[in-house]
Amino acid sequence: MVWTSRFLPSPAVRHWLLRILTVAVVGIFIYQFGKVARQIDWPHFWQSLGRPGNWRYLTAALVLMPVNWLLETRKWQLLLLPFLDWPFAKVFRATLAGVSVSAATPNRVGEIGGRMLLARREEWPAVVASSLLGSLCQWVAFLLLAWPALVLTVGRLPRFDLPFSYWWLLPLGPLAVAIAAAGGKPLLLRIVNWTEGRLVGDATGLRESLTNVKLSLMSRASVYATLRFLVYCVQLYLLLHFFGLGLPLIGGLAGIMAIYLVQAGIPLPPGLNLVTRTELGLLLWSAGPEGAVAVLAAYTALFGVNVLLPAVPGYWLIVRKNYV
């Protein structure tokens, strides 16, 4: 299972390309970090921090950040096992490298590329395949948790009247999961067969590894994906409280899940033309001007906590591999 050589430059050229890529990604990260720092309303932040006992919400959100990425690491390690027997520490380092590159790319599309930077060239197909399987598991969490939250939340909006009962939409999420469970592996095998001779040379090893990915393994990985999604939602819930927007637990978490699913690519019904998380939050929670500040601050802070902070050691790992 090797990449065909006609698509790859010489080792010396690859070495310098990786160095240039590393410098470019670090530069973009510094820009992103400065951009986020400028977006934060610092007077509002210090005012929120000064409220009695309010520091506990921020501390809890920070403590949950490593839990978030440890769950992601364990999920990916399970899915990587049929392809590569990496120890947990190595999977964790590659996960952080993926976070670092994703922080500098739109919609975090660079996560797989960052993971590949800490793998050998012959391991790249396994990294890509297992990461794609991980994305499928994450969608299991979205469809089982966020889809019902979206359907119920939108159906209860006073300014959005559905022309039909929304209850029949609830089974569509589990149905999509069942379809993916039945047809996901055959589809991936078709993709592997197509790439053989085009992007990769002999894909026999990759094909055999995919056959070892059983439904039980995907189910176990989906449990970790679900736990990680819950951790993310709780983090945002805590940060909203920190910045002054107190929400009921169930309703608040349901709204957060619904917004995340919308941002992940589920199209909204006609008439609900909202494209940003802040606007969706204001609609769902009927927040006034102060609430708008809290919603924007919470999402900005969550990006800093969950992406920018773990990206720092991820960049160090990439630089160490390519320069040391």
Going by C-beta distance under 8 Å and a sequence separation of 6 or more, which residues neighbour residue 170? 147, 148, 151, 152
d(C-alpha 247, C-alpha 253), whole Å: 9
Half-sphere exposure of 151 (CA within 13 A, CB side): 16
Structure tokens at 172: 């569509």
User: pLDDT band at 148, cuts 50/70/90?
Assistant: confident
Q: What would the pLDDT profile of 48-84 be if each residue is shown by its tens digit?
A: 888 888 899 999 999 999 999 999 999 999 999 988 8
Q: What would the pLDDT profile of 79-125 be if each residue is shown by its tens digit?
A: 999 888 999 999 999 999 888 888 766 656 678 888 988 888 888 88
Percentage of the chain beyond pLDDT 70 is 60
Least confident of 29-38, 91-100, 198-207, 315-324: 198-207
Average pLDDT across the chain, whole number: 76
pLDDT at 155: 62
pLDDT at 70: 96
Q: Is the pLDDT of residue 138 over 50?
A: yes
User: Do the domain assignments include residue 150?
Assistant: yes
Residue 143 to residues 138, 170, 175, Cα–Cα distance (Å): 9, 10, 9
User: Do the domain assignments include residue 36?
Assistant: no
Write out the DSSP string of 42-58: HHHHHHHHTSTTTHHHH
How many domains is the chain partitioned into structurally?
A: 1
pLDDT at 25: 65
Percentage of the chain beyond pLDDT 90 is 18
User: Do the domain assignments include residue 146?
Assistant: yes
User: CB–CB of 149/255 below 8 Å?
Assistant: yes
Structure tokens at 17: 């390309």
Going by C-beta distance under 8 Å and a sequence separation of 6 or more, which residues neighbour residue 274? 262, 268, 280, 283
User: pLDDT band at 1, cuts 50/70/90?
Assistant: very low
Q: What is the mean pLDDT of residues 228-246?
A: 92
User: Do the domain assignments include residue 299?
Assistant: yes
User: Do the domain assignments include residue 41?
Assistant: no
State the amino acid at position 272 in one-letter form: L
User: Do the domain assignments include residue 1?
Assistant: no
Q: Is the dihedral of CA 280, 285, 290, 293 positive or negative?
A: negative
User: Do the domain assignments include residue 12?
Assistant: no
Domain that includes residue 206, residue range:
55-91+121-313
Going by C-beta distance under 8 Å and a sequence separation of 6 or more, which residues neighbour residue 188? 129, 132, 133, 210
Which ranges in the chain belong to alpha helices (H)? Answer: 11-39, 42-49, 55-80, 88-102, 111-116, 124-141, 147-155, 172-195, 204-211, 215-242, 249-263, 277-285, 289-303, 309-323
